[in-house]
Structure 1
Amino acid sequence: GFYQFFPTIFGDELYPLEYTNEINECADRFGLDKPLLAALILKESGFSPRAISRAGAVGLAQLMPATAAGINKREFQYPDYDLFDPKTNICFGAAHLAGLMGTYNGDVTAALIAYNGGDGAARRYLVARDMDVLVTETKLYAPKILAARDVYASMYGNQLPAGKTPEVTPVKFEVPKQPNVKEFWKGFVKDVFARFFSNN
């Protein structure tokens, strides 16, 4: 691929790859594309297992402790775990992303938006199909990861064999219809009169 011919400064240094075995194992366990998981780790922590965000997200995949606790209960049932442990964090992150992929019918963009900005952000995107409805950080998050994913697939194809890209069936969320105030009051008055005359 094109990126295989990049000088080191444009390749390995900008798109490093560590914890290859852990990424492959965890991606296989949860049916994720391996270059995608590597790209997520790059964006979240720059492959720093001790990373802690200002919000309190921890480790390579930057998981909030409460989110990790839910993932553990659902997927692993470990009596104890360490989010600074690379394999643990990568597998928890893979489980989280895979769960979001399931929620949004395989829509990778929506899953990544939810990973960064939560379910509300993903639903706003799915209704509008427009990144401009998102805050700047979340708006840029998915495109950056998807672009990095392509670089990882090209640079590290032998180390991170890409999985088959699933066909995406977009989830459709309808905007709730606003209630018709006139019809509401008409029905309310009609109901009041009906109750009044039925009691007399």
Structure 2
Amino acid sequence: MKPIVRLAYVGVPMLVALIISALALSVSKWGAPSPGRIDTAALPLAFGLVLGTFVNDSIVLSFDYQRFCWSVRDAVLTAFINFLGFWSFIIVVSAVPAAILDKDLYGVYEVLGLSTLALATLFLLAWTSTDNQLYPASLSWTIALKAIGNAVSRRKIVIAAAALTAALSIVKLHTFVIWWLSLLTAVYGTHL
């Protein structure tokens, strides 16, 4: 079994445990959200973010899921469920409230007392390409460099990608994700 697959077997259950723990702790600490009245003014933003995420992830993540599928049908079904279900859930349930409250996801897990589990999970998943696509990005960069005639080792590309990711995290580029997804939605919407 490849080391990346072994990490995925550990990281993915940790991610499930992290999400379930965060949900349970949030409900026990602050109570279940009241069904109340739906603010229809916020619906276009929520739908736009979901659509922007769908468009973005359908481009970025398709290769990750295809390599684990046994057939074309499995690949299409997995991509559909992940992009439409999982990422929509993540954006609507966690990213939008975090942006509104001006809290990043790590801050939310810190308040819940799950920061150690969150860091360990994200560290493992960064290498399995489930979270930030570091490994497949390095593969794509390697193929792109080969196409223009430069041969570079994957190891150097992975190290460069990790350094770039760390630098972008330090400058908190991820705080602009909501606006980026909104922009993707606006650009995509003009082509419909």
Q: Which structure has the bigger radius of gyration?
A: 1
**TM-score under structure 1 normalisation?**
0.33
**Of Structure 1 and Structure 2, which has the larger fraction of its residues in helix?**
2
| RCO comparison, higher one (Cα < 8 Å, 6+) | 2
**TM-score under structure 2 normalisation?**
0.34
